[in-house]
Amino acid sequence: MASAHVTCTIVAMNNPDSPIQRPGTGELPHGRPLQTEFDTGLDYPRLGSVTFRRGTLTDNQEALFEEHWPKLGLVLNDEQLDVDSWFGRHAKTVLEIGSGTGTSTAAMAPLEPDTNIIAVELYKPGLAKLLGSVVRANIDNIRMIRGDGVEVLARMIAPESLDGVRIFFPDPWPKARHHKRRIIQSGTLNLIATRLKPGGVLHVATDHADYAEWIDELVNVEPQLTYKGWPWEDAPLLTDRQVITKFEGKGMDKDHVIREYLWEKK
């Protein structure tokens, strides 16, 4: 089993002309995303030939993005985050991978004002909707990163710096040939464990039965994470998502069973 320290090789990220490093724009390069090569011998999600979904922002979203993104948002890069400086305080920090349109993110953040929330999402219109919610509700404990969650963890997050990681309703990639793209893998769990502080919490939710079976097979694969099941009354972080997300609502409409998972970093 891999050790607590992840060694990885950063590939093709040092070109100063790469659009992935342009600050303030919120833009990512076209085509196949750049990926870290890990040497742990574990399994990591591979995006293959998947390209970023493109969407059009409204004029109001464009204006809000231009005004507020430079302060509240970053694009995936190779600089390790200075979280205290970004939020202007020292506080608990939670990374939410795949925040979508930010429905849960914006609803939970005001309930945990003493926690810094970093929302990670590839889809710019989703980030624009979350940014709009943040601005309109004057939510001051949310920041955003545009990029792949595994890459953000590997490139931008310091070891043992997070109090929590949330992954709500990740893409189930239902076809067998696409299972390698699922974010919940032995390597991802190991990477998350290295970024969590001792006592930190990983919270995953899915409404896809096959994906739940997949996760069930992995709950004890990472020795640094103790599986706590669901619910966990003594969890040190908020675990009640408070609202029905867009994808959760679709699942409930189809009578899907929602499964939630909690782990604690030893």
Q: Which residues are annotated as a binding site?
A: 96, 121, 148, 171, 175, 207, 245-248
Burial of 59 (0-12, 13-18, 19+ CB in 10 A): exposed
Name the active-site residue from 43, 59, 140, 171.
171
Q: What residue numbers does the annotated binding site for S-adenosyl-L-methionine cover?
A: 96, 121, 148, 171
Return the closest-CA partner of residue 140 out of 105, 109, 97: 109
Closest CA to 91 of 141, 154, 159: 141
Feature table: binding site for substrate: 175, 207, 245-248
Beta bridge partners of 74: 145
Token pair, residue 151, equals 């890459």
33: helix, strand or coil = coil
Do 105 and 137 meet the contact criterion of CB atoms below 8 Å apart? no
Active site residue 216: no
In this structure, the chain runs to a length of 266
Contact by Cβ (8 Å): 159, 194: yes
Residue 193 is inside which H or E element, if any? helix 186-195
Active-site residues: which are they? 171
